[in-house]
Amino acid sequence: MSIQLTETAARHIRKSIVEKRGGVALRLGVKKVGCSGFAYTFDVAREFGADDHVVEAHDAAVVVDREAMVILDGSTLDFVREGFKETFRVDNPNVKAQCGCGESFSV
């Protein structure tokens, strides 16, 4: 099981998550919500848990718990700027459908 991390995402993790917020990594997850079933979650990881998968690339780390890894396997994490909006974007090959607003998805 694996997740890819772009250089842009890694740079943002190093600057924003590690330097500014004192974390060791970005915690990427999923939660049940919305009209399609799941939504991505992003948080600061302050430590690694026993059930965590740690993905390291470009001198940055992303932590994903075992349950979320099943849904996120094969994904690519990027960081994008569109106008005034900056956000992490997950390109997940396991997504079968998304709601109209793009906030939730099903696998």
**pLDDT tens profile 80-96:** 998 899 999 999 998 87
The pLDDT of residue 100: 59
The partner residues of 37 in beta bridges, in order of sequence, read 33
DSSP conformational letter for 7: H
Confidence class of residue 102 from pLDDT cuts 50, 70 and 90? low
Q: CATH number of the domain that 46 lies in?
A: 2.60.300.12
Q: Are 41 and 54 in contact (CB under 8 A)?
A: no
When divided into structural domains, the chain yields a total of 1
Among candidate residues 2, 22, 17, 1, the one with its CA nearest the CA of residue 88: 17
Rounded to a whole number, what is the largest CA-CA distance in the chain?
Answer: 39
The structure tokens 């009209």 sit at 35
pLDDT at 99 over 90: no
Q: Are 49 and 37 in contact (CB under 8 A)?
A: no
Q: Which domain holds residue 84?
A: 4-106
